[in-house]
Structure 1
Amino acid sequence: MTKSTGLPYRSKGPGALVTGGSRGLGLFMARQLVERGCMVTIAARDAEELERAAAQLREDTGATVHTAVCDVRDRTAVSALLREIHERDGLDLVIANAGVIQIAPVEAVGAAEFGDAMDTMFYGALHTSLESLPYLMETRGRLGLIGSVGGLLGVPHLLPYSCAKAAVGALAEGLHAETAASGVSVTVVHPGLMRTGSHRQAEFGGDVDAEFGWFSAAAGAPLLSMDAERAARRIVDAVIQRRTRLVLTAPAKAAQVVHGVAPGLTTRLSSVAARLLPSAPGRGPLRQGAEANEPRNPIAKLVRAWGSARNDRAVPGANQREAGPRTSS
């Protein structure tokens, strides 16, 4: 059974694309679009992961789901993908979600990590936006760009991610202003922490075990994080309803307000928080969360187990079971 979409009628269903759709939030958003009767294409870099995600969606919904191996950093590849979807299904809705996340103190990352974050999240969103807009203008379609609370303020130990997501937010707001007259709507979404199982795919530097411990605990803590399926439903609703902006989770909304009213105070509070986070023992290769060990400190181990339990339960449904190429949030 499909839900009412508010999207244009097509005999096959409205055409939709989700980049970074093979796992995590992207996969949950793809499911929401499938349930609304869309002909959905999910794109990511890992073919095996994509097929596993598509099989999961097909088994659960019985719908046709297309997959596309595509590196959003490559504008030529993105252009070819958008043209294929336009010709096959029509293109009514696009969500640019592909991302990477690195958790480490700034001393443990370099320019390469900042470049990787910008290439995947900002340039990936830019390529997806520029290549989809001509088709969306034909259908008066909808474009959604996934930012983050990390793009609303500089978050300690998440600086590459924060910088890239801040650029995505600016892109979305500018595109919204410039495309409104054409009938295309652009929605920017700034989620807070969500239980997507992404702690297994995220990359950690510095004291890897300790960084993984605090992040996985926070990302699964009931009062700090949000159920990913609920978040995906609200995001898809916002894009379909042509909302300009959506901020998810109470902590993210509070951070936005406080930073807007008192940015200096917010920065000082962030400095205090940074002192409580693990210190880096020096530069070294980043490692995925799936490779991290349990914290050595018994209290830290207890906090990690308490906070991440819900996030761990999201792993199978979010297709986060195995470490692989960094493709989605």
Structure 2
Amino acid sequence: MKQAITHTKEKVVWITGASSGIGKAMAFEWARLGYKVVVSARRKELLEKIALEIRHSGGEVLVVPVDIMEEASIEDAVQRIISAWGRLDITVANAGFGVFGSIAKLTAKDWDRQLRGNVTGLALTVKYALPHLKQNRGRIGLLGSVGAYLPNPNVGAYGASKAAVHSIGLTLQVELKGTGVTCTTIHPGFVESEIARIDNEGLWHPERSDPRPSKLMWPTDKAAKVIVKAIIKRKRTYIFTTHGRVFVWLQRWFPSLVRTIVAKGPKPE
């Protein structure tokens, strides 16, 4: 007997951090491919605008606000998805932010906020989605960073959080063996985002300049396409942007050169 084919229109993708940047671009890309999309973030008004665009394009979308700093909010979001659409096939734990400052200056509050958002929030997103993903041989996407492999002056807390994401991905790839669920950890290089304009308290400063090299920056729609493709193909770890791959390779074989390059790089304001 031939196995029934599940059409993408029946598959549900949940994206956290979907109100801007890569998360927003991924929402449009998954919808373009025919998936039912759940967009989550704290800023409901931005999510509603994204949902309106997706619906105008003929897609199906559900707005579910979530705060990844609060476990109850994450658990409630999953229950709302299941109540509305009855299933969950793909979870992309994309929500995150950066805390800035040298190791010598970061406070305990800074570290707690960075790790609670980028590590604990991500892990709990996976935890509450997993029972439903296991029912459908689903997929998990974790958003890390090339910074997981590199020295990160003035963003050491962020780099540490993304190294933890890399470790969580490796662990899930073992823990999920035999369940049918796969985990893809994505490590982007420089991609357009608001990260440099958000301070250590989570406040947005539109006037701030981005210290990252503009010539190396990928547009979000281009990044979204390669991320979605990697998750669909169930890749384990995916590093992208050419410069990102080059730096990771150099760090492995020529770490002293990377330290020199990074030390001379631009400093955040």
Query: Per the shorter chain, which TM-score range?
Result: 0.7 to 0.9
Q: Are the equivalent residues in 2 in contact too, given 1:194–1:227 (CA < 8 A)?
A: yes
Runs of 5+ consecutive residues of structure 1 not aligned to the other structure = 1-7, 279-291, 293-329
For residues 280-319 of structure 1, the C-alpha deviation after alignment (integer angstroms, 9 at most, x for no partner) is xxxxxxxxxxxx9xxxxxxxxxxxxxxxxxxxxxxxxxxx
For residues 136 and 166 of structure 2, the distance between their equivalents in structure 1, rounded to whole angstroms, comes to 24
Please tell me whether the aligned partners of residues 147 and 166 of structure 1 are also in contact (alpha carbons under 8 angstroms).
yes
Offset at residue 204 of structure 1 (A): 7.0
8 A contact 2:65–2:77 mirrored in 1: no
1:218 aligns with 2:212: yes
* Paired residues of 1:70 and 1:77 also in contact (CA < 8 A): yes
Query: SS of 2:95's equivalent?
Result: coil
- Check the 8 A contact 1:100/1:121 in 2, yes or no: yes
Of 51, 60, 64 in structure 2, the residue corresponding to residue 64 of structure 1 is: 60
Instruction: Give how far 1:14 is off.
Output: 0.4
Q: Which residue in the other structure is 1:21 paired with?
A: 18
> What does 1:283-322 correspond to in 2, within 5 Å?
none
Q: Residue 75 of structure 1 corresponds to which residue in structure 2?
A: 71
Q: Secondary structure at the match of 1:188?
A: strand
User: What is the aligned partner in structure 1 of residue 264 from structure 2?
Assistant: 273
Quick check: 1:23–1:53 contact (8 Å CA) kept in 2? Answer: no
Q: Give how far 1:189 is off.
A: 0.2
Q: Match for residue 240 of structure 1?
A: 232
Task: Classify the secondary structure of the residue corresponding to 1:95.
Answer: strand
Using the aligned pairs only, state the percent identity: 27
Contact 2:184/2:230 (<8 A) preserved: yes
* TM-score, scaled to structure 2: 0.87
- Does the 8 A contact of 1:144 with 1:239 survive in 2? yes
* TM-score in terms of structure 1 length: 0.72
Say yes or no: does 1:98 pair with 2:95: yes
**Alpha-carbon displacement from aligned partner over 1:111-165 (angstroms, at most 9, x marks no partner):** 2122111111111110011111111111000000000011222211111211111
CA apart distance, 1:80:
2.1
What letter is aligned with 1:273? K
Match of 1:168 in 2: 165
Alignment partner, residue 199 of structure 2: 203
1:155 maps to 2:152:
yes
Tell me the equivalent position of 1:287: none
Q: 1:80 to 1:273 in 2, by over 3 A?
A: same
Structure 1 residues 2-42: Cα deviation after superposition (integer angstroms, max 9, x where no partner): xxxxxx62585201100001111100011111111111111
| 3-state SS of 1:186 partner | strand
* Greater relative contact order, per chain length (Cα 8 Å cut-off, separation 6+): 1
Match of 1:177 among 171, 174, 177: 174
Contact 2:100 2:200 in 1 (8 A): yes
Q: Distance in 2 between matches of 1:130 and 1:124?
A: 10
1:85 counterpart (81, 104, 107): 81
How many angstroms apart in 2 are the aligned matches of 1:217 and 1:11?
A: 39
Instruction: Say if 2:211 and 2:267, in contact at 8 Å, map to a contact too.
Output: no
| Residue aligning to 2:244 | 252
When the two chains are superposed, the root-mean-square deviation of aligned CA atoms in Å is 2.5
Relative to structure 1, the CA distance from residue 159 to residue 11 in structure 2 (aligned partners, 3 Å threshold; closer, same or farther) is: closer
Aligned equivalent of 1:114: 111
When the two structures are aligned, how many residues end up with a matched partner? 260
